[in-house]
Amino acid sequence: MTVNNLSTDEELQRFEEKYEQILSRDPSSVTFIFLAQVLYKQGKVDKAINVLIKGLRYNKKSVTGRFLLGKIYYDRWLIEQAKREFQSVVQLAPDNLAACRMLMQIYRSEGKQQKALEILRTAYNYHPQDESIAIEINELEDELRLKDKKEREFSVAKEKIESSVESETVDELLSNLGSYDTELLSETIADLYLEQGLYEKARNVLEGVLQSDPENRAVRNKLEKTKLHLINKTAGFNQGE
């Protein structure tokens, strides 16, 4: 009976005890993988992680062990740890499609489309018959082109903001910049106001952003710092406008 076919707590417990006995006699045994699977199926996640970490000390090149550890980390949203394990798997076995896909998803969620694309291209070299990889490669290439276009547009918009921020109101600046990401440009204007010590103007802009996106924690933190600057200004601790 394989681990995947286990269905009762009694069976799981028996296998846990069996694999623990094997490992107590030979800590370098690859049985650590089976024990970790049993523990994870029982919900003993921390113990499964410890078993995998110890087992990998003896079996550093265990692709299965590292993939399982990465998957557990990923399920627990320990993304950096998961990424490290999947990277190791891909280095050891660049044809491991499952690890490539997991690593691609992580890079993509981080906005690192170029790295995600490199991983997929590597996978495609080993699995040229897999049409789904080719489709994902095309999607990522489209994302990269769009990202590059937006970055170029934003660079131009930012230059215009920097040259006009003192002479125009925020509404005038945004209306002159067309349909680009209004919220992102508003934050840029606020940053420029802060750099110039124009704290009241920065506060007004940030409050406007929060009205449309009240859950934006980064903007909320920036607003709190801006209000602190205003308090210091009122107390005479910094320069006014």
Distance of alpha carbon 129 from alpha carbon 94, whole angstroms:
16
On whether both 112 and 230 belong to a single domain, the answer is no
Q: Tell me, what CATH number does 108's domain have?
A: 1.25.40.10
- The counts of H helices and E strands in the chain are 12, 0
Distance of alpha carbon 174 from alpha carbon 182, whole angstroms:
7
pLDDT at residue 1 in the model? 43
**Domain ranges, residue 98:** 3-147
- The tens digit of pLDDT for each residue in 17-76 reads 999 999 999 999 999 999 999 999 999 999 999 999 999 999 999 999 999 999 999 999
pLDDT at residue 137 in the model? 93
Residue whose token pair is 């509404």: 171
pLDDT at residue 205 in the model? 82
Residue 183 Cα to chain centre, angstroms: 22
On whether both 31 and 116 belong to a single domain, the answer is yes
Distance of alpha carbon 74 from alpha carbon 213, whole angstroms:
29
Cα-based angle 202, 207, 209 (whole degrees, multiple of 5)? 100
Output the pTM of the full model.
Answer: 0.64
Length of the chain: 241
In a domain, 219, yes or no: yes
- The tens digit of pLDDT for each residue in 130-183 reads 999 999 999 999 988 887 876 776 676 666 666 655 555 555 555 555 544 455
pLDDT at residue 173 in the model? 56
Q: How many domains does the chain have?
A: 2
For the chain, give the longest Cα–Cα distance.
78
Q: Tell me, what CATH number does 209's domain have?
A: 1.25.40
pLDDT at residue 153 in the model? 65
What's 95's DSSP letter? T
On whether both 105 and 203 belong to a single domain, the answer is no
Structure tokens at 143: 């994302």
- Tell me which residue of 200, 189, 192 sits closest to 229, measured CA to CA: 200
On whether both 132 and 177 belong to a single domain, the answer is no
Which has more pLDDT, 193 or 172? 193
On whether both 68 and 173 belong to a single domain, the answer is no
Q: Which of 6-10, 21-25, 191-195 has the highest mean pLDDT?
A: 21-25
pLDDT higher than threshold 70 for residue 106: yes
196 φ/ψ angles, rounded to the nearest 5 degrees: -90, 0
In a domain, 159, yes or no: no
Name the helix (H) or strand (E) containing 65: helix 63-75
What mean pLDDT, rounded, does the chain reach?
83
